[in-house]
Amino acid sequence: MDVGFIGLGIMGAPMAGHLIAGGHTLHLKSRRSVPDHLVAAGGRACKSAAEVAERSDVVILMVPDTPDVELVLFGEDGVADGLRPGTVVVDMSSISPIATRDFAARIAGKGGTYVDAPVSGGEVGAKNAALSIMVGGSAEAVARVRPLLDLMGKTVTHVGETGAGQVAKVANQIIVALTIEAVAEGLLFASRAGADPAKVREAITGGLATSRILELHGERMIKRTFDPGFRIALHQKDLNLALEGARSLGLSLPGTALAQQLFAACVANGAGGSDHSALVRALEIMGNHKVAE
């Protein structure tokens, strides 16, 4: 299949690499230059998103935010300018479900089909082709792109119609943020009370409190390894989507609001580019105590 891939950052580059390894022809575009290793593997660099669309049966997007998706799709020399009839646009970014439905309608007006397929699993999941992919779109369109998604993810779930994938991703980000906050509070309490947080983490991973976040991000908090797998600024963006959606639905999400404020405190203290496990730093500042040195 001729596949376009736009957005070759921490997540996008390894995802595109898996598609090349799977035998597909990749037409590539990124805000920065296309990584050399993808070109060496057979990827073809393009000058614009429109050129990507002109060459592709399926166009995949993996960019940071809603305005970025809109610009790539409908800006000057965007995907819409080069879209061939019948092309499937797959947005794997994490963006607004409401905007997603609008973008899908505009792509349909150009003769294309739209699938939203945001992911969870971070940089590790992208590199290991072990992402969880939440998919929204028609059954026909999803079936057409499913072989591509299977090359990038371990779990691919068709949640429902267009926008349903983004709704699932927002729900995922709520749960992840609140779990990171819970792990941070627990480890901070243990450390301040005089226990070894590494031993406490080891002890509770065998009980009901165990989770992937306790395993991975709890270790990051203890070892102080906050190089980004998923940046605080991006998670903050996702919680904005959650809170905006909650307001439109008449819902109260107090835990989400708290996590958002903690992320905001991290950003205010220069940690917006750190991994989202660095949320613990906001609690450490308030408690005047670090989980570990």
- Report the b/e string of 265-290 with b at 16+ CB within 10 A: bbbeeebbebbbbbbbbbbbeeeeeb
Catalytic residue among 110, 169, 199, 223: 169
Unique residue bearing structure tokens 């090359």: 151
How buried is 199 (Cβ within 10 angstroms: 0-12 exposed, 13-18 middle, 19+ buried)?
exposed
Residue 169 is among the residues annotated as catalytic for this protein: yes
Contact 32, 6 (CB under 8 A): no
Which long-range contacts does 12-21 make (Cβ < 8 Å, 24+ apart)? 12/62, 12/63, 12/126, 13/38, 14/123, 14/126, 14/127, 15/60, 15/62, 15/92, 15/126, 15/131, 15/152, 16/43, 16/60, 17/41, 18/129, 18/151, 18/152, 19/148, 19/151, 19/152, 21/151
Catalytic machinery residues: 169
